[in-house]
Structure 1
Amino acid sequence: MDPKNLRSSDVLLLPGARTGRDPARSIKPGPRRQPAGVVAATQRERLLDGLVRTVAERGYQHATVSDICRAAGVTRPVFYELFNGKEDAFLAAHRFGTGVVVRRMAAAFAAESDWCAGIREALGAMLQLLAGTPSFATMAVIEIEAVGPAGRLERDQLLTRFRVFFAEVPQLPCGVRVQEMVDAVVGGVYSAIYRRIASGRTDQLPELLPVLGMFCLAPFLGPAEADRRLGSRIGEDPSCTRSDPATTQQ
């Protein structure tokens, strides 16, 4: 699916994109109240939004459950009906939001006919999403470390998901293992994004696209070839066309 053709109803927002107290999601009391499942789902969404914004503002260590509930307009008893505690809610917000990011990247990647253009479009989709929701970017990229071992495990599991975008890279010389190189590249991209967010320049993330595109292609194609493909209309270069998955180097 071409992300340019996504209907508004198909687009899932990142947690933190709306305020927890968004009037459009208020729960009306009385006999016409929504079904219990719908109410619980709405309260959960509001709590995730409230958590992301509170953690981005105060930091994970200083954000309290009461702060999160206040930002969401949801009571503490309801919070504990839905989550085991602050860490559980944080990880739920992280998983949901990063899932949205990865799916949007996958859609952008699949819309291109070649790997080079696909990588660039996937990176662009990620950078635009994070820049558009700075509270989620701060919560997911910066504050994840403050969660402790569970947060680091969650981050490591996320980074391995990005291997799928490099399934078609060519064989490397000198016995260098492709997966190890891919993991190094993914880690470098994450580090560059971290530094930009940590320095308060989240809105400038899309400016990283040229350098990150080069960083992702150069280890596998060489700097000169990566520059040529990024500088030309990549989709018109037959040497960058995706190979048959059955013969792709894993």
Structure 2
Amino acid sequence: MVAARAEKELAIQLPGGRDGRDPERAIKRGPSRLPREFILATQRDRLYDGLVRTVAAHGYANATVTEICRAAGVTRPAFYEHFDGKEAAFLAAYTRGTDLLLGVLEREYREGSHDWHSAVWRHLESLLEILAGTPAFAEAAIVEIEMVGADARRKRAELLNRFRGFFSGAPELPKQVDRGTVIDTVIGGVYAAIYQRIAIGRATDLPDLLPSLAYYVLTPFGLAVPPGARVGAVGAAASKSVHYPSTPSSSMPLFLTADQE
């Protein structure tokens, strides 16, 4: 219950999680006694929401600064006080959202159980639930980022690199297997599965991927999770380890190397 509440609160904080024109965040015209820093921060957050929702609805290429400002309830001059243009605004919203998301997951990983296979299940579940709870952010950050340019691709590579930290507690692999390659391939595969589900308009169904993705992440490290396993059954399921042979054979799992940024 606590975890579900925290995920819901984070989803609201993510860019696109709220209506940019929400009356509760409106700033009345004319002289204001509010600190300028508060006004600027409120405008920026509303622009994040307006941008993400506009990009999710119309695509990055078709989203205009005028439409973003309209969705945020912010004037064009105010927009350019914060950002040089649409790309800069998108990158700022992307950085804000992914830092929030990864920050929560990383903190939970550091403070949580040292049972790695259970942690994998728990953190995948959180990731999928949060993205499903903010489909506009999922669409913009996972799918539409492809249209933004080289700086966005570098930002995405930085994001994916941060996921390597979640493998610090993973079991060792056979000596002939390059650990970094396996980890990067698993991260790339999970990202691709999430991308595909969002790209066909089913972001809200992302939690359905949990059993398959948990199986995909755990199996290379000798920890098999049967499809349909529940969170409480992960420990028992993971005890059924996969024993790798000491030398390569046709029975060993094969992994494709993902393209690196």
TM-score range for the pair, normalised by the shorter chain length: 0.7 to 0.9
Q: Which residue of 1 aligns with 2:16?
A: 16
2: CA distance between counterparts of 1:64 and 1:72?
12
Deviations 1:220-248 (A, max 9, x none): 115479999978352898999xxxxxxxx
| Residues 4, 227 of structure 1: alpha-carbon distance in 2 compared, 3 angstrom cutoff | closer
Deviations 1:150-206 (A, max 9, x none): 111111111000000001222211421211111100000000000000111111100
Structure 2 residue runs without a partner (length 5+): 242-261
1: CA distance between counterparts of 2:28 and 2:163?
41
Q: Which residue of 1 aligns with 2:129?
A: 128
Root mean square deviation, CA, Å: 2.9
| Matched positions, count | 239
SS at match of 1:232: helix
Q: Which has the higher helix share?
A: 1
| Residues 83, 202 of structure 1: alpha-carbon distance in 2 compared, 3 angstrom cutoff | same
Q: Percent identity?
A: 47
Contact 1:114 1:235 in 2 (8 A): no
Q: Which residue of 2 aligns with 1:38?
A: 38
Contact 1:60 1:146 in 2 (8 A): yes
Deviations 1:101-159 (A, max 9, x none): 11232244333341111111111111011101111000000000100111111111110
2: CA distance between counterparts of 1:131 and 1:11?
9
My pick for the range that moved more, 81-90 or 110-119, is 110-119
2: CA distance between counterparts of 1:95 and 1:31?
32
1: CA distance between counterparts of 2:209 and 2:7?
27
Contact 1:229 1:237 in 2 (8 A): no
Contact 1:214 1:223 in 2 (8 A): yes
My pick for the range that moved more, 140-149 or 25-34, is 25-34
2: CA distance between counterparts of 1:39 and 1:162?
34
1: CA distance between counterparts of 2:5 and 2:107?
11
Q: Which residue of 1 aligns with 2:249?
A: none
2: CA distance between counterparts of 1:108 and 1:235?
22
Q: Which residue of 1 aligns with 2:64?
A: 64
TM-score, length-scaled by structure 2: 0.82
Q: Which residue of 2 aligns with 1:139?
A: 140
Q: Which residue of 1 aligns with 2:159?
A: 158
Q: Per-residue deviation at 1:90? A: 0.2
Q: Which residue of 1 aligns with 2:211?
A: 210
Q: Which residue of 1 aligns with 2:102?
A: 102
Residues 1:220 and 2:221 are matched in the alignment: yes
My pick for the range that moved more, 220-229 or 207-216, is 220-229
Structure 1 residue runs without a partner (length 5+): 241-250
TM-score, length-scaled by structure 1: 0.86
Q: Which residue of 1 aligns with 2:257?
A: none
Task: For 1:100, give the aligned amino acid.
Answer: L
SS at match of 2:13: coil
SS at match of 2:201: coil
